[in-house]
A and B are shown apart, each in its own frame.
Chain A
Amino acid sequence: GAVVSQHPSWVICKSGTSVKIECRSLDFQATTMFWYRQFPKQSLMLMATSNEGSKATYEQGVEKDKFLINHASLTLSTLTVTSAHPEDSSFYICSARVYLGRGTTNTQYFGPGTRLTVL
């Protein structure tokens, strides 16, 4: 299957600092990328959807000024957690989807995740 990478795989930062997480589709062009958040022993919660060259669409309850998303190219999306606080500590997972047209599967592939710990 297609490969999606994330960097860094884990990061520890001080409260009040900003952290940027990169998501890349390595062997395909992703027209749409998604960012999820996962707390321990819980399911994946969609934070936002981004299409290349467009502003991200955020889910209800997700602060767009805190979680900045940039989808600069068909292979790269970044999530910046601004002014991070301990409650932002979580597992952040990106996902990429290639659009092959209506009636096709348009499979969604996930990255390995980034563990963020805010002290």
Chain B
Amino acid sequence: GENVEQHPSTLSVQEGDSAVIKCTYSDSASNYFPWYKQELGKGPQLIIDIRSNVGEKKDQRIAVTLNKTAKHFSLHITETQPEDSAVYFCAARSAGGTSYGKLTFGQGTILTVHP
């Protein structure tokens, strides 16, 4: 099945700096890669996603890049703000095998933005 590794586990930045979180996946059949933000005591909220036929996608301060050959994708947050502080999860959805259609999550990154 799919295996997703996420790094770093914690990330601390100053307000206004950029933050980058990286994920690698194992299943070359995976074709959809969403990123979720989870605040304490709440459910995950989709912030951006990318399909395997696209290399990069941007939405205001948030961008995601995908390298299919290397099987890794990254979340980039620019001009970070204190309200960006949360746990971020990457995920990969397989398009084949026993994991078809299921999201496999990374371990999560605790992002702290200091004012």
Q: Which residues of A come within 8 Å of B, CB atoms?
A: 1, 4, 6, 32, 34, 42-44, 46, 49, 93, 105-113, 115
Total A-B contacts with CB atoms under 8 angstroms apart: 45
> How many residues belonging to B are interface residues under a CB distance threshold of 8 Å?
19
CB–CB B49/A93 < 8 A:
no
Given known pairs A43-B108, A46-B102, A105-B51, the reply for A115 and B89 (CB within 8 Å) is no
B43 at the A/B interface (Cβ < 8 Å)?
yes
Given contacts A43-B89, A46-B102, A49-B102, contact A105 B44 (CB under 8 A): no
Interface members, chain B 86-102 (any A CB < 8 Å): 89, 101-102
Is there contact, CB below 8 Å, between B32 and A105? Answer: yes
Contacts of B105 in A (CB 8 A): 43-44
Q: Give the A-binding residues of B (Cβ under 8 A).
A: 32, 34, 36, 41-46, 49, 51, 89, 101-103, 105-108
12 sampled A-B residue pairs with Cβ under 8 A? A32-B101, A43-B106, A44-B105, A49-B101, A49-B102, A107-B46, A108-B46, A109-B46, A110-B44, A110-B45, A110-B46, A115-B41
